[in-house]
Amino acid sequence: MSKKTYAMAIRDVMAEEMRRDERVFIMGEDVETLGGVFGCTRDLYKEFGTERVRNTPISEAAIVGAGVGAACTGMRPIVELMYMDFTFVAMDQLINQAAKTRYIFGGNAKIPLVIRGQEGIGRGNAATHSQSVETIFMHFPGLKVACPSTAADAAGLLRTAIRDDNLVMFFEHKALYAQKGEVPDDPEFLVPFGKADIKKAGTDVTIVANLLYVGRALEAAAELEKQGISAEVIDPRTLVPLDMDTIVSSVKKTGRLVVVHEAHRTAGWGAEIAAEVTQQAFPYLDAAPIRLGAAQCPLPFNLGLENAATPQVADIVKAARAVLYRD
């Protein structure tokens, strides 16, 4: 095991996979000598050259389109987008082309393409650079959605994504890049898609969260413990495929569910989980599930307003107490 930042765990896995498979290469804005805005490709060009760590024009449509074409011809591209907010510029390539190609060709075509980049709050990047957009990509069949919350999960999930023969949308969080954690040194360390992680066991309430909010859910669980409430915290890790079995089993034990995410509450992925739990485990519920998410407004530039628009630890504690009828 080595202690690494979330960003360095991502960088090291890309380097290892490029050494393992010469078809793997990286392309994106400023990924070469700058090493990306958050340093996830730092110095990789020195080992692999500028053919395999390739700067691109400032055009997400062109970057993703080139990635789709490269994947179709047998390469295994990793496309870095500076902000995942800008996936919308390339939605035709992602949703109408890459996500559907394997289906259209009866399973004979492969699209081994990873689209990775960061999203989220924490730096006051305002309305068009702070969104959490992973929910949107759950809707379209033909792609997978990964959301690591720790350095180890970032490493294991990214390695799995690079080796997958399908389009993977890999969502990182800007506020997690500097956080450190233990990461296995094994170059074959993989985190399987579709397997949630129980970050903390509990008996009274199930809290499901992803990315930055896993840490906030654990903070809330620690506070609830002081109040005599045992919270189970689950990180889905991948939204597609989604491990509902682990979540449903937890709710059958606790009888209560709180889902919290940074994405907007309206039509967020928490709604899908709440609906599935209600359908699969209704007789076990002792209270209606509660969903927490960002307010239905563009994210503010001001950090105080940003905090006001997104769930805080106190909100998670309050929701857990509410489903237990403590407030």
Task: Name the residue with tokens 């080139």.
Answer: 66
* CB-CB neighbours of 128 under 10 Å: 12
Task: Give CA angle at 153 (149, 159), nearest 5°.
Answer: 135
Measuring CA to CA, which residue among 225, 237, 221 is closest to residue 145? 237
How far apart CA 66 and CA 195 sit, in angstroms, is 31
The DSSP element (H or E) to which 167 belongs, if any, is strand 167-173
**Local structure of residue 84 (DSSP, 8 states):** G
313: tokens are: 């630890």
Q: Which candidate in 119, 129, 172, 232 is catalytic? A: 129
How far apart CA 311 and CA 307 sit, in angstroms, is 7
How far apart CA 234 and CA 195 sit, in angstroms, is 11
Q: Which candidate in 29, 60, 232, 306 is catalytic? A: 60
Q: Diameter of the chain by CA atoms? A: 60
Is residue 119 part of the annotated active site? The answer reads no
Q: Which residues of 205-243 are buried (b: 16+ CB within 10 A; e: fewer)?
A: bbbbbbbbbbbbbbbbbebbeeeebebbbbbbbbbbebb
Chain center to CA of 225? 27
Is residue 261 part of the annotated active site? The answer reads no
The catalytic site residues sit at 60, 129
